[in-house]
Amino acid sequence: MRKPEFTYYGISGQEFNRYHLLKPYFENLKEAHQDKWTKTLYVILIPVILYSGGWHFLSDGGDLGYSIVKGIMLLFICAIIVGIVSIPLSLLTWKIELFLSSRDYKFYLAKQPIILRFETDLEIYRKLVREKEKEEERKRQEALRQQKEFWRSLTGIQFETEIASLFEKLGYEVTLTRGSGDEGVDLYLNKNDKISVVQCKAHKKPVAPSVVRDLYGTMLHNRADEAILVTLAGFTLGVKNFVEGKPIELMSLSDIIKLQNELVTKKEFPKKQEPLPRHELTKHKKQNISRNPVTVKQPIPRPEYQDNRTIAERYYSQGIGYKRSGNSHEAIESIKKAARLGHQRARQFLEDRKIIW
């Protein structure tokens, strides 16, 4: 999508800036006038009410309760007057001000739909740009994780976090232990009710057999289904000999890179659905036909054959109609057809006129 420009919408940058300067003014103009008149009326009427209340208090001989009731009634009447009077006054002054600034107001109304469309398209473009940048950053991070230098530059905690993220992408439910008292387990994995314990070693030297023996004991203690030992520097021969016949998986840096490559390939090139074999395809076609039978258009039944008498009567009526409308030639032709089919009145009509039929 091309970035929206002012010229594509027939506006200039100066008009765009002018519109946004006028926008808050015209949007708040009506409410500002109503607030102004409401405050003005209250300022005028409240002193009048106070003066009237004081006058009633003095005229009633100092009866405070009666004066308070009158004051409340006057305040209620004041609120009604303010509500009734302020609305038409605010509308009137709003219209007057719009008339005085009619040039700016016409410009505001004329440019409003164009600028709104421009801003909507610009927001869509920015959203697409952000999504593209986010996707490019994701690809950059994935490409970075395909390099051995990235994994070797991680600290122990960073290495655990990245391995946890890798297993999450593989569909595992991951729990990070983090901290002391983890009993030699850095991650707990759960997938299809299968529990695995994972230990991550970001060491620069190959892992010794003591590490895998401790991990095996931890797996038995936690009653896990398998154990996974992940390291960057590989394993000694003693480790490989110990894990034979045991549910322990060894993951080196090469295995990590391989898993990361598979994830990227799977995301970039999703697996296409394999075509069905020919016999399966025929089976599906038969099922579709049975479920959705094709409605065959039935032939329109032909009307029953009408005898010559009915047809002759129709020709005769048609001929009389032509005769009444003044179309003599068509009338004679139709009556002749009726006479040939044995219509007696048609034959009598032609014989009276000495017409050969």
- Tell which phi-psi region holds residue 134, choosing left (phi > 0), alpha (psi between -120 and 50) or beta: alpha
**What's the distance, Cα to Cα, between the start and end of the chain in Å?**
82
- For each of the domains in the chain, give its residue range(s) and CATH number, in order of start: 6-124 (no CATH), 155-268 (3.40.1350.10), 308-352 (no CATH)
CA distance 199 to 211: 9
Element (H, E) at 228: strand 226-231
Digit-coded pLDDT (tens) for 207-228 = 899 999 999 999 998 899 999 9
Full 3-state SS string of 244-277: CCCCEEEECHHHHHHHHHHHHHHHHCCCCCCCCC
DSSP-derived 3-state class of residue 353: coil
Using alpha carbons only, how large is the chain's radius of gyration in Å?
Answer: 48
* Among 222, 237, 174, 170, residue whose Cα is nearest residue 200: 174
CA angle 157, 158, 160 (to 5 degrees): 65
pLDDT of residue 57 exceeding 90: no
Q: In what order do the strands lie in the sheet with 173-176?
A: 173-176, 187-191, 194-201, 226-231, 248-251
144's tokens: 């970075």
Q: Lowest mean pLDDT of 12-26, 38-52, 89-103, name the range.
A: 38-52
pLDDT of residue 237: 92
Residue type, 4: P
Residue 41 CA, chain-centre distance (Å), reads: 49
Position 37 pLDDT exceeds 80: no
- For the entire predicted model, the pTM comes to 0.48
Average pLDDT along the chain: 77
Beta carbons within 8 Å of 71's beta carbon, 6+ residues apart: 49, 53, 56
Pairing of strands 226-231, 194-201: parallel
